[in-house]
Structure formats: C-alpha cells, structure tokens
C-alpha cells in the first residue's frame, strides 16, 4: 500500500485528494493548520466520512520543526501532494510577510523534510498561472460575451516568460522555482503544476478565490454577486477529478520528474463571467442580483492554459465538460450536506 502525505489536506483540492487516495486504498497523512474557515468546514466532513487509512495531523508548514516531525513520525512517504498555503491575491497584498512565510518558506520546509527524511518521495506542487504575470505580450479581442486570445491562439505554454506579479505571484513563483531546482540540485522527484481555475465539490468559493463556486453559492443562496469589469473575462476551468487524475500521473510517471506543466481546462474548457451567469440562468433558473464595479487592477481579460505538454508527456487530458462539471458542483451544493455557517 502506498503512503501519501497531503499538505493542506482539508482545503478544497486537498480534501478531494484525500478522499480519492483513501478510496484507492492508500494510507494518507493529512497535514493542515486548520486556520482557514473552509478547512474547519471540511474537518466536520472529514470526521463524518472518516476516510479509511487517513490520519490527520494539525501542523503548520511555516514551522520547519513541525514539518520534519511529521516526516520522522509518519514517513517516509511514497508521494507528497503539497497544497498548503495562502491562496488569495488580495490577502497577499494586505499581509505579504505571512503570505511569503506560508507559500515560499512553507514549501522550502517541505522540500527540506523530503531531502532529509524521505528522499525517494515524489512531490507534486500546486503552483499557479499567476507566475506569468500580466501577460502584456498577449493579443486579445472581444467576441460576444467573452474575450479571446488572438495570440497565443493555443493558450499560454510553459515557455511563456516568468513575470511574478503581486506578493502571491512572488511567493508561489519562488516556491515553484525551488521545487523545480530541488529536482536538479538534489535529484528529488518533484513536479510543478501551474494551475489555472480549478472547481468542484468541497470548494467554498469566495469572492477573491474560487469564482466559479462563489457564483454558484451566491446564486443558490440568493446573495448578490459583485461583478468587476465587464464580465467578459475568460478563464480555462478544470474539474477537480481531472486535476487529481493528473496528480496521480505526476506522482507515478517517470516523465514528470523535474518538469513543469501548465494545467487547466485548456482551450476547449473555458468560461467567461457572463457565460457562467447565463448557465446559472438556464440550468438553475436563477437570476442573481448583480452589483457592477470597475476593473480590478491587474485583472487579466483572458487566461487560457496550453495543456498540450501534459498531454504529450503524461498522456493526460481533461474528460469532464464544463457543463457536466458545473452540474456536478451545483448538485453537490444543493445536496444540503454543506454547512455554510
Ligand atoms: N483552487 C484553484 O483554483 C487553484 C489554482 C491555482 C493554484 N492553487 C493552489 O492549490 C493549492 C490548494 O488550493 P485550494 O483551492 O485547495 O485552497 P484551500 O484554501 O481550499 O486549501 C489550502 C489549505 O491549506 C491550509 N493551510 C494554509 N496555510 C497553511 C499553513 N501555513 N500550514 C498548514 N496548512 C495551511 C488551509 O487551512 C487549507 O485547508 C494552493 O497552494 C493554491 O495556491 C489552487
């Protein structure tokens, strides 16, 4: 039975990863500091569902000693999925030092623990498309309810220049480069996934992070949605199950070692804010009240990942259509099992 550590394991992606791994019969150690309200909500579900073979350790990745202890007591691990961190750009602007400590230092602590106590572990790191910054070099056009890329037509590839914007972009970008370099310098089996928008069950979206879930939650609760810009902003969106399928490949596939991959729904799975509102109207029969605001600084008109490298090297491609994924998220939100208190 393989042994897995999931840091940030009570967050949206982490909790899904824990449920999947325990269903696969893996033994899982879940590390989370429980500071996020969303993690405390998922803790209730964790206790109820009690995933088989999972053990929860409350610890903070900013604390090198605590991270090392997890490896000494519960390791070595065959795989580590490192997700713990500060996730919102807005929070990073308000608290850049805390953001740096959670994302950059926290990742270095995980890398050091692997290097010293679990050298054979494969590591998946959840990086972000924000490492590509404002994408001033792209060319965009307006088309109906959305913006489109004229260049690069196939989406942003891993060859795009790094250009860290915002403290979040800097802290994740630093971590991204450390993860990559630990493969070169120390021979660790790491892989970096630069993720676009991920959505799915166990996501309690908020206005500044997880917009797909946030729109659905607001609509179902009858809350007002604040719409920034003209609503034609486009992102590629990836359903959680497709991401986790890729994580499995990242942990196992020899071609993943030391590599960086852009990850998202790619050009065939994209959504603008207005299109999501249209979907909510058509499929859920809800017209959420909107409050219009101007553009937020740095809000990209379009971001679409070129995911062809992950397809070529790891044989991965997303399976869930946008319509199917949104329906599954909406069904989960309507199931009444979620406690938004
Ligand atoms: N969800 C997305 O669309 C997306 C996109 C790009 C990158 N990412 C990255 O993926 C990872 C997971 O994202 P998510 O959406 O599941 O976020 P999330 O906020 O739901 O999960 C993060 C978890 O980490 C925990 N955590 C935070 N700081 C910690 C610390 N110092 N020590 C220990 N635990 C800590 C939180 O309690 C939370 O449970 C993050 O690193 C994020 O930057 C996510």
Asked whether the CA dihedral 65, 170, 198, 87 is positive or negative, the reply is positive
Kindly report, residue by residue over 159-168, the tens digit of the pLDDT: 999 999 899 9
Residue ID of nearest Cα to ligand 1 atom 18: 11
Residue in 166, 169, 170, 145 with CA at minimum distance from that of residue 296:
166
Contact yes or no for 130/169 (Cβ under 8 A): yes
Residues 269 and 267: their CA atoms lie apart, in Å, by: 6
The alpha carbon of 124 and the centre of ligand 1 are apart by a number of angstroms equal to: 13
Mutate which of 5, 12, 129 to test ligand 1's pocket (most atoms within 8 Å of Cβ)?
Answer: 12
Position in ligand 1 atom list of the atom nearest CA 62 = 31
Kindly report, residue by residue over 48-99, the tens digit of the pLDDT: 998 898 999 999 999 999 999 999 999 999 999 999 999 999 899 999 999 9
Q: Per CATH, which fold does 3-334 belong to?
A: Rossmann fold (3.40.50)
- Output DSSP code: residue 103: I
Instruction: Give the angle 45-48-53 at the CA atoms, nearest 5°.
Output: 95
Residues 154 and 162: their CA atoms lie apart, in Å, by: 18
What's the mean per-residue pLDDT of the chain?
A: 95
Residues 62 and 109: their CA atoms lie apart, in Å, by: 7
SS3 call for 160:
coil
Q: Helix axis angle, 166-186 relative to 106-117, nearest 10°?
A: 20
Contact yes or no for 260/306 (Cβ under 8 A): no
Residue ID of nearest Cα to ligand 1 atom 27: 85
Over 80: is that where the pLDDT of 338 sits? Answer: no
Residue 106 phi/psi, 5-degree rounding, is -55, -40
Q: How much is the pTM?
A: 0.97
Kindly report, residue by residue over 116-135, the tens digit of the pLDDT: 999 999 999 999 999 999 89
Instruction: Give the angle 194-80-127 at the CA atoms, nearest 5°.
Output: 15
Residue ID of nearest Cα to ligand 1 atom 40: 83
- Alpha-helical runs (H) found in the chain: 12-23, 37-49, 64-74, 89-94, 96-100, 106-117, 166-186, 211-221, 240-252, 273-279, 308-314, 322-334
Q: What Å distances lie between residue 93 and 87, 100, 255, 314, CA to CA?
A: 11, 11, 36, 36
- Output DSSP code: residue 156: B
The alpha carbon of 167 and the centre of ligand 1 are apart by a number of angstroms equal to: 16
Position in ligand 1 atom list of the atom nearest CA 203 = 20
Q: Which two tokens stand for residue 189?
A: 């089996």
Mutate which of 70, 87, 175 to test ligand 1's pocket (most atoms within 8 Å of Cβ)?
Answer: 87
Tell me which residue has tokens 């959840």. 126
Tell me which residue has tokens 């995933």. 51
Backbone angle region of 34, left / alpha / beta, with phi > 0 → left and psi within -120 to 50 → alpha = left
Residues 341 and 338: their CA atoms lie apart, in Å, by: 9
Kindly report, residue by residue over 139-151, the tens digit of the pLDDT: 999 999 999 999 9
SS3 call for 235:
strand
Cite the active site residues. 168
Position in ligand 1 atom list of the atom nearest CA 127 = 7
Mutate which of 83, 129, 195, 271 to test ligand 1's pocket (most atoms within 8 Å of Cβ)?
Answer: 83
Residues 87 and 131: their CA atoms lie apart, in Å, by: 13
Q: What is the DSSP string of 246-273?
A: HHHHHHH-GGGTTEEEEESS-TTSEEEH
Beta bridge partners of 4: 28, 79
Residues 69 and 175: their CA atoms lie apart, in Å, by: 21
Over 80: is that where the pLDDT of 1 sits? Answer: no
Instruction: Give the angle 340-20-53 at the CA atoms, nearest 5°.
Output: 100
Residue ID of nearest Cα to ligand 1 atom 42: 87
Over 80: is that where the pLDDT of 341 sits? Answer: no
Tell me the domain boundaries of the chain: 3-334
Residues 104 and 90: their CA atoms lie apart, in Å, by: 17
Q: What is the pLDDT of residue 37?
A: 86
Instruction: Identify the residues whose C-beta falls under 6 Å from ligand 1.
Output: 8, 10-14, 32-36, 38-39, 60-62, 83-87, 102, 106, 126, 128, 172, 195, 197-198, 210
Kindly report, residue by residue over 247-266, the tens digit of the pLDDT: 999 999 999 999 999 999 99
Q: What is the pLDDT of residue 293?
A: 95
Residue in 141, 205, 134 with CA at minimum distance from that of residue 163:
134
Residue ID of nearest Cα to ligand 1 atom 25: 8
The alpha carbon of 103 and the centre of ligand 1 are apart by a number of angstroms equal to: 9
The alpha carbon of 32 and the centre of ligand 1 are apart by a number of angstroms equal to: 10
The alpha carbon of 208 and the centre of ligand 1 are apart by a number of angstroms equal to: 13
The alpha carbon of 226 and the centre of ligand 1 are apart by a number of angstroms equal to: 23
The alpha carbon of 92 and the centre of ligand 1 are apart by a number of angstroms equal to: 13
């Amino acid at each position: 039975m393989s042994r897995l550590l999931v840091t940030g394991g009570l967050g949206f992606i982490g909790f899904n990863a824990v449920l999947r791994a325990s269903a696969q019969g893996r033994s899982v150690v879940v590390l989370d500091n429980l500071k996020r309200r969303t993690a405390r909500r998922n803790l209730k579900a964790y206790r109820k569902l009690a995933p088989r073979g999972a053990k929860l350790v409350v610890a903070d990745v900013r604390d090198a000693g605590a991270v090392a202890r997890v490896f000494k007591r519960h390791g070595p691990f065959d795989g580590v999925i490192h997700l713990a961190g500060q996730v919102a750009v807005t929070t990073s602007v308000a608290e850049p030092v805390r953001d740096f400590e959670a994302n950059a230092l926290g990742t270095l602590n995980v890398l050091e623990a692997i290097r010293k106590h679990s050298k054979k572990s494969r590591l998946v790191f959840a990086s972000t498309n924000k490492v590509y910054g404002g994408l001033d070099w792209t060319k965009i056009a307006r088309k109906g309810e959305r913006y489109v890329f004229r260049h690069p037509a196939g989406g942003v590839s891993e060859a795009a220049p790094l250009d860290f914007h915002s403290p979040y972009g800097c802290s994740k970008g630093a971590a991204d480069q450390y993860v990559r370099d630990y493969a070169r310098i120390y021979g660790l089996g790491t892989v970096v996934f630069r993720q676009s928008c991920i959505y799915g069950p166990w996501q309690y979206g908020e206005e500044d992070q997880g917009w797909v879930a946030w729109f659905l939650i607001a609509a179902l609760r009858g809350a007002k949605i604040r719409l920034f810009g003209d609503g034609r902003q486009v992102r590629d969106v990836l359903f959680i199950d497709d991401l986790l399928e890729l994580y499995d490949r990242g942990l196992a596939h020899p071609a993943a070692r030391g590599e960086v991959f852009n990850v998202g729904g790619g050009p065939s799975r994209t959504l603008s804010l207005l299109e999501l509102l249209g979907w909510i109207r058509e499929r859920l029969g809800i017209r959420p009240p909107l409050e219009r605001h101007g553009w937020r600084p740095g809000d990209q008109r379009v971001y679409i990942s070129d995911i062809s490298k992950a397809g070529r090297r790891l044989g991965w491609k997303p399976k869930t259509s946008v319509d199917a994924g949104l329906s599954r998220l909406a069904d989960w939100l309507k199931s009444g099992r979620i406690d938004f208190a």
